Structure 1
Amino acid sequence: MFQIQNLSIISTLQPLFDLSEVSVGKHYYWDIGGFQVHGQVLLVSWFVLSLIAIISFLGNSKLAAMPEGVQNLTEYITEFIRDLAKTQIGEEEYLSWVPFLGTIFLFVFVSNWSGALVPWRLIEIPSGELAAPTNDINTTVALALLTSIAYFYAGISKKGLNYFKRYISPAVFLLPINVLEDFTKPLSLSFRLFGNILADELVVGVLIALVPLVVPIPIMLLGLFTSAIQALVFATLAGAYIGESLEDHH
């Protein structure tokens, strides 16, 4: 009987399994623990994380009373993230969320810029090609789901089960809309970031192929600007969602 129920559940969820296997473009696959993962995304992600770690170490290994050089850069970034968190979450509870928002912002920012500045396509791999991690929908969806988990954790840790009263506030008939909103938040976060980074790299790639000298340079500079804006938008929305979960509704 138990096996029949399991088979029934598996057959019901089979469309979801099929959907999860949909892949866009060619990828360099690694088999890890019986699962296929996009190796090119992990390679560039490790490069991004290593770069962030090196800059953090250089900026904080020998702290001086008068910051200069890399320390000045890291302190500026820290103050920027603190101000962003304070604005979106509030002065009382923002400090505990500075590490999360800072990690999200730095990873997205450095990933976006790595795709715009590093000539990954010159490095040959067995299949597919190297690109910014945020150029892959799996990365942006993972970041969006982490943000969803964060604001659920924030609300439940502060309010307990009373957090779920927000679904019937200010009226019970708004329950379906409020539930749907929690599904649209990660979707909008992931597809906005993925779409903008992919479109920027495609436009630059086409222009370089057609007009390889002068025209792509302004587009690349514009891509750096939009990449930074996308990182800021992602971190700002993540902070806004967390602040909304912590907000007291009367």
Structure 2
Amino acid sequence: MYQDSIDCINCTSTFIHISSVEVGQHLYWQLGNYQVHGQVFIVTWLVMLSLLSVAFVGTRNLQRIPKDSQNFMEYLLEFLQDIAKNQIGEHEYRAWVPYVSTIFLFILGSNWAGALIPWKLIQLPEGELAAPTNDINTTVALALMTSFAYFYAGLRKNGLGYFSRYIEPTPVLLPINILEDFTKPLSLSFRLFGNVLADELVVSVFTLLVPILIPLPVMILGLFASSIQALIFSTLSAAYIGEAIEGHGEHE
């Protein structure tokens, strides 16, 4: 018994050491008892400021007949509404348009910031600036937000009866249905993080090898891939919310 306790303590200590392993260098800011990646916050604030500026310019002088920037903003709103409407349903989608739109625009802005702006030219004491979605903490936070959103949507619509979905169509599937809720945020976060990281690495390698012409088409391809990743993340988020609202039994 004593030896088993020692082995358990050693195993726990090993996991603690593994969880403290860092990949790459970061600019750390101390907030209370926590250390955060400062370079992620810097670019995140810049992305949010850019999005707010575009929204302000596009809506500061609204007219009955839209022109120029207002026309673009209305087209963008219709596009985002269609994402929510197609995945959540015509009767429930309006309440979730702000969330789906915010997720799409933030990820798109973050991805494009990493693909278009040469952050590596800006020297930091430690680490380097990059797209916020290039940090696994950001993508996991976004995925967890979606998880909380569809649990909230399901409980708000169906009450405690929402949990009956875990034993449908048969109680035998209970472990699989529970595991599915854990794999959803993992899939969302790692897909986004992996694609953004891979795109930035490819552009960096091509820039080092052939610094004049070759990186340009790769960057254009990266912009397209970044847009697709924002669309996939927001569409899947809306789909999960729609599934939670509809109910597992009705969805089947």
| SS in structure 1 of the partner of residue 36 of structure 2 | strand
Question: Quick one: distance in 2 between partners of 1:194 and 1:105?
Answer: 15
Amino acid at match of 1:21: S
Question: Quick one: distance in 2 between partners of 1:148 and 1:160?
Answer: 17
Q: Report the counterpart of residue 187 of structure 1 in structure 2.
A: 186
**Pair 171,110 (structure 1): closer, same or farther in 2 beyond 3 Å:** same
Q: Which runs of 5+ in 2 are unaligned?
A: 1-8
Q: Which runs of 5+ in 1 are unaligned?
A: 1-9
Q: Per-residue displacement from partner, 1:35-86 (whole Å, max 9, x unpaired)?
A: 1000000000000000001111111121011212221221111110101100
Question: Quick one: distance in 2 between partners of 1:89 and 1:202?
Answer: 35
Question: Quick one: distance in 2 between partners of 1:35 and 1:28?
Answer: 13
- Is 1:31 the equivalent of 2:30? yes
Q: Which runs of 4+ in 1 moved over 4 A?
A: 10-20
Amino acid at match of 1:197: V
CA RMSD, 1 decimal: 1.6
**Pair 167,219 (structure 1): closer, same or farther in 2 beyond 3 Å:** same
Question: Quick one: distance in 2 between partners of 1:15 and 1:61?
Answer: 56
**Pair 81,19 (structure 1): closer, same or farther in 2 beyond 3 Å:** farther
**Pair 96,15 (structure 1): closer, same or farther in 2 beyond 3 Å:** farther
* 1:219-230 matched pairs, under 5 angstroms: 219-230=218-229
- Is 1:86 the equivalent of 2:79? no
Q: Report the counterpart of residue 204 of structure 1 in structure 2.
A: 203
**Pair 179,11 (structure 1): closer, same or farther in 2 beyond 3 Å:** farther
Q: Report the counterpart of residue 5 of structure 1 in structure 2.
A: none
TM-score (norm 2): 0.92
**Identical pairs, percent:** 60
Q: Report the counterpart of residue 141 of structure 1 in structure 2.
A: 140
Amino acid at match of 2:51: I
**Pair 233,16 (structure 1): closer, same or farther in 2 beyond 3 Å:** farther
Residue 22 of structure 1: CA displacement? Answer: 3.2
Q: Report the counterpart of residue 233 of structure 2 in structure 1.
A: 234
Q: Report the counterpart of residue 41 of structure 1 in structure 2.
A: 40
Question: Quick one: distance in 1 between partners of 2:241 and 2:19?
Answer: 28
Q: Report the counterpart of residue 63 of structure 1 in structure 2.
A: 62
The number of residue pairs the alignment matches comes to 241
* 1:166-181 matched pairs, under 5 angstroms: 166-181=165-180
Q: 64-73 or 154-163, which moves further after superposition? A: 64-73
Amino acid at match of 1:155: G
Q: Report the counterpart of residue 112 of structure 2 in structure 1.
A: 113
Q: Report the counterpart of residue 4 of structure 2 in structure 1.
A: none
* 1:98-109 matched pairs, under 5 angstroms: 98-109=97-108
Question: Quick one: distance in 2 between partners of 1:14 and 1:157?
Answer: 41
Q: Report the counterpart of residue 3 of structure 2 in structure 1.
A: none
